[in-house]
Amino acid sequence: MSRCSSWRFVAGAGHDSSHRPGGCRTCWVPCRERVEPGREQCDGCLAALVMHPEAEIRLTLAESTGVDRASLETLATDLDLRVSLAAQRALDDLDPEVTSDEDVFDAAKPALPFSAPTAETDWLTEETDR
């Protein structure tokens, strides 16, 4: 029987939420929950990491190997762009025949010239011109 090798985030430890897994033994404790053979993390740990308030933690999860598809799909909708892009890349790796890199790029482009310029699209245009 395998056991979960993940650090489990302890909510309400009263510490800064930026403390890293394994770096602080108050915010994070070894889980050791029993998991199916071949899995490294239990569902509870994955759910805790996906919902972690610190974007850096979610980004680390998105860039980890062995994260299941459902968690990656949740992370792909993350409000933090670094997290959602990393999760999208990981999902692409799960489906090597589907190359959605271009889709992601297209989605990031402003909808000009078909929409009236706003402060946001002006900013995006500047970024792409640079």
- Residues interacting with Zn ion, by CB under 5 A? 4, 6, 15, 19, 24, 26-27, 31, 33, 42, 45
- C-beta of 10: minimal distance to Zn ion in Å? 8
CB-nearer residue toward Zn ion: 36 or 97:
36
Count of C-beta atoms within a 10 Å radius of residue 128: 10
- C-beta of 70: minimal distance to Zn ion in Å? 16
Count of C-beta atoms within a 10 Å radius of residue 25: 12
CB-nearer residue toward Zn ion: 1 or 119:
1
CB 27 within 8 A of CB 19: yes
- C-beta of 121: minimal distance to Zn ion in Å? 41
CB-nearer residue toward Zn ion: 25 or 69:
25
Which residues contact residue 105 at a Cβ distance below 8 angstroms, ignoring those fewer than 6 apart?
none
Q: How far apart are CA 91 and CA 34, in angstroms?
A: 26
CB-nearer residue toward Zn ion: 14 or 96:
14
* Residue 88 dihedral angles phi and psi, to the nearest 5°: -65, -40
Locus of tokens 């790796």: 93
- C-beta of 100: minimal distance to Zn ion in Å? 30
